[in-house]
Every structure is written in structure tokens, then in C-alpha cells.
Amino acid sequence: MHRERFYTLTASCPDRVGIVARVSGFISAHRGWILETAFHAEQPDEGGGVGRYFMRIEIRANSLPFTPDEFRERFQPVAEELGMEWKITDSAAKRRVVILVSQQEHCLYDLLARWQSRELDVEIPCVISNHDTFRGFVEWHGIAFHHVPVAPDNKAAAYAEVRRIFEEACGDVMVLARYMQIIPPDLCAAYPGRIINIHHSFLPSFVGARPYHQAWAKGVKLIGATCHYVTADLDQGPIIEQDVIRIDHTDTVDDMVRYGKDIEKAVLARGLRYHLEDRVLAYGNKTIVFR
Amino acid sequence: MHRERFYTLTASCPDRVGIVARVSGFISAHRGWILETAFHAEQPDEGGGVGRYFMRIEIRANSLPFTPDEFRERFQPVAEELGMEWKITDSAAKRRVVILVSQQEHCLYDLLARWQSRELDVEIPCVISNHDTFRGFVEWHGIAFHHVPVAPDNKAAAYAEVRRIFEEACGDVMVLARYMQIIPPDLCAAYPGRIINIHHSFLPSFVGARPYHQAWAKGVKLIGATCHYVTADLDQGPIIEQDVIRIDHTDTVDDMVRYGKDIEKAVLARGLRYHLEDRVLAYGNKTIVFR
Amino acid sequence: MHRERFYTLTASCPDRVGIVARVSGFISAHRGWILETAFHAEQPDEGGGVGRYFMRIEIRANSLPFTPDEFRERFQPVAEELGMEWKITDSAAKRRVVILVSQQEHCLYDLLARWQSRELDVEIPCVISNHDTFRGFVEWHGIAFHHVPVAPDNKAAAYAEVRRIFEEACGDVMVLARYMQIIPPDLCAAYPGRIINIHHSFLPSFVGARPYHQAWAKGVKLIGATCHYVTADLDQGPIIEQDVIRIDHTDTVDDMVRYGKDIEKAVLARGLRYHLEDRVLAYGNKTIVFR
Amino acid sequence: MHRERFYTLTASCPDRVGIVARVSGFISAHRGWILETAFHAEQPDEGGGVGRYFMRIEIRANSLPFTPDEFRERFQPVAEELGMEWKITDSAAKRRVVILVSQQEHCLYDLLARWQSRELDVEIPCVISNHDTFRGFVEWHGIAFHHVPVAPDNKAAAYAEVRRIFEEACGDVMVLARYMQIIPPDLCAAYPGRIINIHHSFLPSFVGARPYHQAWAKGVKLIGATCHYVTADLDQGPIIEQDVIRIDHTDTVDDMVRYGKDIEKAVLARGLRYHLEDRVLAYGNKTIVFR
């Protein structure tokens, strides 16, 4: 992580000779100073075909003679030549993170501590919850709190409200910080790659409800957590980050829940950070994570 | 692990008041010196009922005035009073481990290195394989090698032969050290809790064939291995030990296979050790592992 | 962790035959129901001599016919017979934890989140800090906040004040949650085994100031944190818990500080929990931790 | 790791604008297909000055119209322009690894298992040992074995012999696979960055002899191993790889030795692999490891 302002170019395109030269040549022709680079060639399928090339380049902002918008304009011909999907972001433009939470505090406290210390250098325009539990805590931090109850008979209206709040807040990313509700398909579809969840198991094991109970019944020796993008397919979206912790026969389900919280908040924080730093490039149902 | 000779008492019984006192009182009444103890109370099901109590006690052999056989006779009334399942083993009686292997060397080399250095202080009467690949290596160590080919049309005969060899070798435990064949149900049933397998995934994820391919397709960020007792239910027997290793998008399936080998051999060695030291008490489809 | 009220007996004594039988016999004679036990025999030094025996036993409170005080009286003869150092605590008597903090929020937020969710089931009578930074945050939680500035020329007075506040708060344990000051020897001596620090390195590497800078300069591939009891010998007290996280050449000192915070708060929380549950028995400069 | 033949270019030079463009432009001008790239900018010291840029690029061999030698000739002007230290290696030219061992088998078995399975795709021209213990095992693998006893009064002669054997074997790298002798300064100086050691502690903790005894005495909760380049400064050379394993109070020094072996062989194998794949660029007393 750099302290000075920088732009981050992320892109993917069909693999071929000369991609790195073409892109880095463009940057260097404008005297752009590269701070950090990462490239990855995803192999073609076994049946043959063309692989796909992914990249992420950080460029010192004050080394370039133009704005991000002008960069976009000038780089477009290069991108077209290479058949690229791409974007460029500016470290000076803070992302707007909307947090959804239910009644467990561990992820919320963890995210707000990181935000307080500016480790998580974002705007948090608001927190949305289906309970009123954390209103005081959130508002004490100077962050707006929206209580949007979700009941079996009001789901459509409730999620319309969530969406309205998110739009009004100009949210870039929605973080489900142990939000114990299933996001409806239309909301998933509205924000592909912009809703991040923390699931309390090492996926693909123990999809759905009460994963620690499932883990206990199975007698596994490690439990985990998974940070992933939310899609309409429950707990099946592209995985961003995972981790595990060792347990043993002395641990009850309550103990596993307690241990699990430590993994959940760490994995969510790492996954969110990778996303915010444009380190995650999803393709198909998988991710490239340029750590 | 102690250097002097000791007996290991393992037992389980319905939980009640006074179990520890009754058992340790018996030992102390005969001046038995306890080297190591572990107890565990498994809670009753949520619906109520009685919990189950598990224990493992190491007693210095020369502190007791009698042999293991005499211990068995004298302890039997205590065990009956408590409704115990129990056994006592003698560290001086080396276990006989029969290794089954196919064509991958990593677990075989690892086990034989541990055996050579006496870290794995057992007899290895023979190695059985469905290929002749490792005959020279095994025989160089002074261990008998049996080539028992397995083909679709000879399975019953092949496993009858495996069983005959194991019996003739007076095997205590059969270790599937990446033996790439499915053990038939009758063989599983013949040796419950005596056949140990290493599966190359973090179960319950990726059961069955080609787990690394499955893991690659899913895009998980950690891969693992599982050491478990073999039952007729493929890859579903009680788990003894598991571990994982971090991977990322740069790792191909070949890389995952390579990383996985390091986890497989470590997890198998640990699981086997726990078994040989009578640290594993299976109940239902789970295990207590007194590390 | 049990949900019902229980007593925890911890003890150590010279090793001999019959300790477990004597203690468990006492408990069982009064119909005490044992929930959890752990024993450990520390070997005598190589030169010979007598080993030392350590134990921790949880007993269901309502299974015993007497109070903790009566237990103390009745058990005393057994303890004397065995030459024991011992104590018994009551899960119903909440510990009083006083937190000392400077200007970093990660450990403070983490501890208060655990306290809010009752995972950390203690009283926090007050937080003491050499800065006023977290007054609002702490007071919002309904916890008293004391600002005790520490300057080179007022150290004696400042620590007298810390001690007065701790005494007035009837503190059981003092937690240095990244309190960036050196505790003077007389304060250490006043509360042996009752002051817990989190040091931001994997001790014994990188004692003292700026351990992440030291780690960066050395080029280590993992960094860590250590939770330990504070003694007059800087960063040398008995270690309770440690952990590490992987880093690489791309990580600057700032990155290491950031990663380190995650390890620090996790290690402090685990170490404190072990202490509060009477799982830590210090002897010499080491600890037994009955997890 | 790729299956097809490739060249690996590694280089470092003072940081400036246009390095990536210049190098990748050269490769692309000759239609070179880049398989894998890694770049790293090491920040200048706090006092200012120029940073240093490091790179590693894998190029598909058959995409280039010339041999490695011709590459060297043609690339030299680019390298001079950028002030580079650089080299290019060919995956088809197998490295020659000479193993030095004493009387512990774990690293030796582990390396030979990897070599047998071609995971470690190198030539092992010979094994050198100060004991004759493993002659049979090594020779069974078709590898020459040299017994070079080392006694207090013959060190100079012994290491001259080691050097002669290494030279005669055309060794590229010397691996100290728990070779329990101190390499003399002149031998270190003769092969900078070409002698790799595995030390049985998490350096910088526990330098020198009997690190597990030191760790036991200190009461640490994790033990580790360190793979590093050997320099004349004992256990202080640039660190390539490290890892740790959790221990607790029940573990004796013997147990720690046993656990430690598993970490040692894994860390040595990883460190050696990084070295053989030209992933390690040492600078000063630190390393860049492009995993």
C-alpha cells in the first residue's frame, strides 16, 4: 500500500504475444511511474483454445501528465486493439462502503475499528440492519443507521428499501457483515461483483444454515470462513478469500461459533481490502486475487 | 512420548459421578504411577439423556506389580461396574503396520523414513501394492513386498489375497498410503477402526475422484487432506486428522497436486501416530483424539 | 466453556503416586460432578529430582453440597498432604478486567466487542490511558475512562495513580492492550501473574521498541505477536500465547504493522481468555496452558 | 510450473520510468511469449535515494527465434542501458544439486522422494556425508556417495575434499540437509548464494546449537525452521523461507525435535525449489522471493 496518490489499472484480455509490452509501453511513453504490477496468464482449457491474460498496474498519479479521464480516452485504442475489459481507479476517490448487519457485533466492530484507524480508508455513508440493536453504536461513530426490518411477508418491500438507501448513499460496495438474510436474486443481479458476504464455513463444505452445527456433526478438525461475491446461487458466488482454524473434540458448537467469529472477521476484512484495492478480478465463478 | 515402558488404558462409559476417582483409585491402590492422562465428557444430545465419558491413561509399567494380563483381570470388575468399553496396551508390544501403496512415493518414503529413524517405532511386516513399482525400494529396507494386481474382473480374488497377506503378517493396522483403489465393504467390515486412509481433500469437500481438479474448478483458496478410518461409505469414515495449505490463482492442478502431497504425508503421519499411541477413540462417526 | 455454574480447581504439587486418585476421590466423595479435567506431569530436570504435577478440574457447582468457601476449608487437609499450591474459583464471580491503552484502537475495539457480545463475560470497571483519545468511545459503552498522562518527569506519580485506580476498581487483572509504556518494576512486583501484555513480535525475537522495523530489516518471512505476563524484565515474562502471519518482500513496515494488528488482537484475546478461565499455570518463567 | 521448455530472465536495476516497457518491448519485438512475470520495486531508504527494481520473466522457449546464448548477446545492450545485473536460464538445462547430510534421515528421504517422482527435476550427482550411515540408501538410488569424515584436526583437508567433490560433480548448488557441521568461511565465500542450509529454529531466535532445547527453556508456543543462504556469519545469511508449528507444555524436547523435522523438510524443500526456479533474488542480507 502506497502513501502517495496512484491510479490502478485492471484489465483482462485474450492472451497473445506483446500484451505487457503494449500496455507498459503506453504508460512509459507518458512517463508514468509504475509502483506495482501483477500479471497472470490463465491457461486455456484442456480442449485447447486461447488463454486469458489478467493484469493490475499501479501508477504514481503525479508522474502522468493527465487525469484519469484523459487516461481513459487515450488508453481506449490500446484496449480495443487487445480486446480488453478494463478500468482505471484513483486512490484519491474514496470508495463508499455500505454495511449490512443483523445482531452479531464482531464483524461490525472490526470494520469500524479499521475505519477509525484509517486502515480501511473509505467512506461509510450508512449501516443498514434488520434489527435496531446497533443504532447507538453506529451513530456514535457519526454514521447513519437505517433499520429495515425483514419479515416473511415484506421481503420485496424491504429489499426495495435497502436498494433505495444504497443508491441514495451512492454506495460502491455492499458488505454483508453477518447479515443473516438471503439477498433476493434481483438485488444480486443489480450489483454483480459489488455485494460481498462472509459465510461461516469453509465452502464448499456446509452451505446454508447452521454450518457450525453441520461441522460439529461431521467431526471435522478445522473450521473456516469464506468471503465471496454474492450471486443468486446461495453461497456459491466467486470465492475471494478463505481461512481456517483448528478445533478438537473438546469444542462444543458454542466454542466453534466463538472461534469462528475470529476467522470470519479476519477473512471478511482481507477480502474486502482486496476488493477495495482492485486486487480481485472475477472470471466465470472464480477469482484472480493479486495480493 | 515417554522413553520408559508404559501401559495405556483407554476407555469410555456412560457419564456419572466418580469415574475418575474410581479408575485413578484402582491405579493408585496398586501404586501405579500415572504418566499422562486425558479425560473428556461428551455432552448428551440436546434432547437430554446421558453423556459419555472417555479417558486415556498412561501408567509407568514398572510401577505396577503385575502384567497387562493381570491388570485386565483385576480391572474387569471396575469396568463392569462403570459399564465400560476398554482396553489396555503395552508400549513394549510393537504394533504391526501393513502399508498399501500404488504408484506415488511421497507417503511411502515418508513413512519409511520415520520407521528408519525409529520415530515410527513399529514393525512393518510387508508392503502390498497393485503395482510392482516400489519392490526394489521396499525390499532394500528389508521389508517384504507383495504385488497384488487389481483389475476390474479380479477384485474379489485380489482383496481375498490382501486379506490373507494381512492375516499372515499378523497386521494390527492397514495404512492406505495413497492406495488408489476402493476397499470393498467386506474388507472394511472385517477390520473396523483398523484401516486408515489419507484422502487428498479437506473432507467433506471434494469426495471421490480427482479432488484437486474439483478444488481447482471451484476456485477455493486453501486445499487440504484428511486422514480417516475406512468404512464401507466412501470417504465418509470417522476423521482422525486434517490440515490445509494456501493456494492461489497462479497454481495449476499440477501445482495443487504437488502442494497437496506435502499435506497428505504430514496428515497421514500424524493420524497414524495418534492411532498407534491409542489416542483415537471413535464413537459414532466421529473421533476423540487425545493429543 | 459450560453454560452452567461451575468451580475451577487449579493446583500444582510435587509429583508422586496417587495425586489424581486423592483429588478426584475427594470430589467424588462429595458427589461432585466433574465437567472437565486436565493434568500434566512436568518431568524432573535431567539431573534428577522430583517432577511437578499440575491440574485443573471444573466441577458443576450444584453437584456439590457446599460453597466455594466450605470447599476451601474441607480440601485444605488434602492439599497439605500433597504439598499443593492451589485455588478454587467460581464461574459466577465475574472477574474485573482493567484495560490500559494508548492510541491504537484495534485491541480495545476487539476486547469491547467481545465484552458486548458476552463472549468475554467479565466486568470492565474502567479503561486507563496515557492519552484522552478513546474517552468518548469507552464512555459510550458505559465504562469509566481515566486519563493518566505519563511524561518522563512524572512516572512515579502516574503509576501510583494507575495503581490507585486499579485498586479502587477492585481489578483482578490489568490488560496492556498496546499500552506503549514500560511498566515500572514496583508495579510489576505488586501484581505478579496479574498484568498481561501483548507484544508485537514473536518473542524472543525482536524485544523492545519497533519490532516490525527490526523484522523488516532482518527479512523474516513470518511476523508474530506474543501475549505474556509482565515482569520487571522487559518482554521476558512467561509466555501465554503466540501466533504468526506470513509476509513477503512486497510488504512494507506499514503493511507489517497492519497485518500485525490482526495477530495482536487475536493472540491477546486468546491469552486473556486462558487466564480468565484459570487455564494458565505459571511456573518459573514458563506456563502450562490447559486449553 | 510449466510443462513446456522456457527461459527464465531474472534481473535487478536502479528504479526509473520505463523498465517494464523496455524489457517487455525487447521480448515482444522478438515475438517472445511471456508465461509468467513478477516485478518488485524496493523502496529507497527513508533518507531518500533511488529504489531498486527486481524482475523475473518466464518466456516460452519455442516462441523466440534464438538460443539462450543469442538472447544474452542481444539483450546485453538493454541491460547496460538500464544498469542491470541479470541472467537467463533454460528449463531444459537441469541443475546439479549436491546434498550434504550427517545422520538424520528426514531431509534426505524427503529430497530423494521428490527427486524420484521428478517433482524435484534435477540431477543429484552425489551425496556427501561426514558419516557412512546412508551409503546404502543413497547408492540404491544410483547416486554416488562420498564419506568425508570431519574431525577437529582435519577440517581444512575435509572441506578441501568437499570442495573438490563439488567441483568435480559440476555442482550448481550445495544443500545442507541437516549437515551438522559449520561450513568454513572460505567455502562460504567460494559459493555465495549457492549453499543452502536448513536451520532448526525460527531465526533470528535460537541461533547456534540445540535450538529446540533453547525453545523449550524459553517456553515458546510455536517452533520453526528457517531455510537460508549460508554466509560466513553463522545462521545469519539471507532467509529464503520459514515456517512454524504449534507446540504446548506437554511437548518434551524430544517431541519438539520430532515435530521440528516435519517443518524442516517442508521448509527446505520449498526454499530449494524457489532457488532452483530462480525465484530468489538476494540483495543485501534479505531476499526477494517471487513465488
pLDDT digits (tens, 9 = 90+) for C112-132: 999 999 999 999 999 999 999
For residue D47, the model assigns a pLDDT of 65
B259 touching chain C per CB within 8 A = no
Residue D288: other Cβ atoms inside 10 A: 23
Contacts A–D by Cβ distance under 8 A: 58
Residue B70: other Cβ atoms inside 10 A: 12
pLDDT above 70 (res D271): yes
- Of the partner residues C19, C35, C41, the one whose CB lies closest to the CB of residue B41: C35
pLDDT above 60 (res D172): yes
Residue C230 CA: distances (Å) to CA of A61, A275, C126, D174, D275: 47, 40, 20, 45, 42
SS3 content of chain D, % helix, strand, coil (to 5): 35, 30, 40
Q: How confident is the model at residue B89 (pLDDT cuts 50, 70, 90)?
A: very high
Supply the mean pLDDT for chain B: 95
What the block records as the C-alpha cell of A244 is 481456517
Q: How confident is the model at residue D34 (pLDDT cuts 50, 70, 90)?
A: very high
CA neighbor of B271 nearest in space, from B237, B232, B223, B220: B237
Query: What is d(CA A97, CA A111) in angstroms, rounded to the nearest whole number?
Result: 11
Summarised one tens digit per residue, pLDDT across range C155-192 is 999 999 999 999 999 999 999 999 999 999 999 999 99
How confident is the model over C89-109, as a mean pLDDT?
A: 97
For residue C1, the model assigns a pLDDT of 54
Enumerate residues 6+ apart whose C-beta is below 8 A from D154.
none
Summarised one tens digit per residue, pLDDT across range C216-259 is 999 999 999 999 999 999 889 999 999 999 999 999 999 999 99
Contacts B–D by Cβ distance under 8 A: 54
For residue A60, the model assigns a pLDDT of 96
Contact C262 A261 (CB under 8 A): no
d(CA D258, nearest CA chain B) in Å = 7
D22 touching chain A per CB within 8 A = yes
CA neighbor of C212 nearest in space, from C182, C184, C245, C237: C245
pLDDT above 80 (res D288): yes
- From chain D, pick out residues whose CB is under 8 angstroms from the CB of A34: 17, 19-20, 39, 41
Supply the mean pLDDT for chain C: 95
Residue D58 contacts residue D39 (beta carbons within 8 Å):
no
Tell me the sheet residues that pair with C54. Answer: C12, C40
Cis before C192 (ω within 30): no
Enumerate residues 6+ apart whose C-beta is below 8 A from B121.
B94
pLDDT above 80 (res B156): yes
- Residue type (1 letter), A103: Q
Q: How confident is the model at residue B229 (pLDDT cuts 50, 70, 90)?
A: very high
pLDDT above 90 (res D48): no
- Of the partner residues B17, B31, B34, the one whose CB lies closest to the CB of residue C20: B34
Query: What is d(CA D70, CA A177) in angstroms, rounded to the nearest whole number?
Result: 57
A236 touching chain B per CB within 8 A = no
For residue B49, the model assigns a pLDDT of 82
Supply the mean pLDDT for chain A: 95
d(CA D277, nearest CA chain A) in Å = 18
Residue A184 CA: distances (Å) to CA of A104, A130, A162, A180: 21, 15, 11, 13
Which residues 51-90 in chain A show a CB within 8 A of chain D?
Answer: 63
- From chain B, pick out residues whose CB is under 8 angstroms from the CB of A43: 252
Contact D239 C222 (CB under 8 A): no
For residue D49, the model assigns a pLDDT of 82
How confident is the model over A221-239, as a mean pLDDT?
A: 95
- The yes-or-no answer on residue A254 being catalytic is no
- From chain C, pick out residues whose CB is under 8 angstroms from the CB of B36: 39, 41
For residue B47, the model assigns a pLDDT of 65
pLDDT above 80 (res A47): no
Residue of A nearest to D20 (CA): A24
| Residue whose grid cell is 486469458 | A52
Give me the active site residues of C, please: 235
Which has more confidence, C2 or B152?
B152
What the block records as the C-alpha cell of A274 is 482486496
pLDDT above 70 (res D46): no
How confident is the model over C196-200, as a mean pLDDT?
A: 97
Supply the mean pLDDT for chain D: 95
Summarised one tens digit per residue, pLDDT across range C61-92 is 999 999 999 999 999 999 999 999 999 999 99
SS3 content of chain B, % helix, strand, coil (to 5): 35, 30, 40
How confident is the model over A185-206, as a mean pLDDT?
A: 96
Given the residues B235, B243, B254, B262, select the one marked as catalytic: B235
Enumerate residues 6+ apart whose C-beta is below 8 A from D14.
D50, D51, D52, D53, D82, D83
How confident is the model over A208-227, as a mean pLDDT?
A: 94
How confident is the model over D185-200, as a mean pLDDT?
A: 97
Query: What is d(CA C281, CA D55) in angstroms, rounded to the nearest whole number?
Result: 51
Helix (H, G, I), strand (E, B) or coil at B85: strand
pLDDT above 80 (res D77): yes
Contact A36 D33 (CB under 8 A): no
Query: What is d(CA B39, CA C38) in angstroms, rounded to the nearest whole number?
Result: 7
Contact B39 C34 (CB under 8 A): yes
Rg, Å, chain A Cα set: 21
Cis before A68 (ω within 30): no
Q: How confident is the model at residue B2 (pLDDT cuts 50, 70, 90)?
A: low
C171 touching chain B per CB within 8 A = no
pLDDT above 60 (res D74): yes
Q: How many CA atoms lie within 13 A of A201 on its CB side?
A: 23
Q: How many CA atoms lie within 13 A of D152 on its CB side?
A: 0
How confident is the model over D128-148, as a mean pLDDT?
A: 97
* H/E run at residue C270: helix C253-276
Residue D203 contacts residue D228 (beta carbons within 8 Å):
yes
- Please, which chains are in contact with D (at least 3 CB pairs closer than 8 A)? A, B, C
Residue A138 contacts residue A121 (beta carbons within 8 Å):
no
Summarised one tens digit per residue, pLDDT across range C13-47 is 999 999 999 999 999 999 999 999 999 999 887 66
User: Is the pTM here over 0.90, yes or no?
Assistant: yes
A37 touching chain D per CB within 8 A = yes
- From chain B, pick out residues whose CB is under 8 angstroms from the CB of D137: 140
* H/E run at residue A257: helix A253-276
Residue of D nearest to A60 (CA): D17
- Of the partner residues C1, C113, C266, the one whose CB lies closest to the CB of residue A255: C1
Q: Is C178 exposed, middle or buried (0-12, 13-18, 19+ CB in 10 A)?
A: buried
- From chain C, pick out residues whose CB is under 8 angstroms from the CB of A279: none
Residue of B nearest to A288 (CA): B249
Contact A27 D35 (CB under 8 A): no
3-state per-residue secondary structure call for B134-177: CHHHHHHCCCEEEECCCCCCCHHHHHHHHHHHHHHCCCCEEEEC
For residue B48, the model assigns a pLDDT of 73
pLDDT above 60 (res B1): no
Summarised one tens digit per residue, pLDDT across range D100-111 is 999 999 999 999
Query: What is d(CA B198, CA B239) in angstroms, rounded to the nearest whole number?
Result: 10
Tell me the sheet residues that pair with B227. Answer: B198, B241
Contacts A–C by Cβ distance under 8 A: 54
> DSSP letters of B195-236?
EEEEESS-TTSS-SS-HHHHHHHHT-SEEEEEEEE--SSTT-
Backbone angles phi, psi at A126, to 5 degrees: -165, 165
Which residues 176-205 in chain A show a CB within 8 A of chain B?
Answer: 202-205
Total length of chain A? 291
Query: What is d(CA B109, CA B137) in angstroms, rounded to the nearest whole number?
Result: 9
SS3 content of chain A, % helix, strand, coil (to 5): 35, 30, 40
For residue A46, the model assigns a pLDDT of 67
For residue B3, the model assigns a pLDDT of 76
How confident is the model over A149-172, as a mean pLDDT?
A: 97
Rg, Å, chain D Cα set: 21
Q: How confident is the model at residue A81 (pLDDT cuts 50, 70, 90)?
A: very high
Given the residues D69, D90, D172, D235, select the one marked as catalytic: D235
How confident is the model over D205-228, as a mean pLDDT?
A: 94
Contact C248 D220 (CB under 8 A): no
Cis before C44 (ω within 30): no
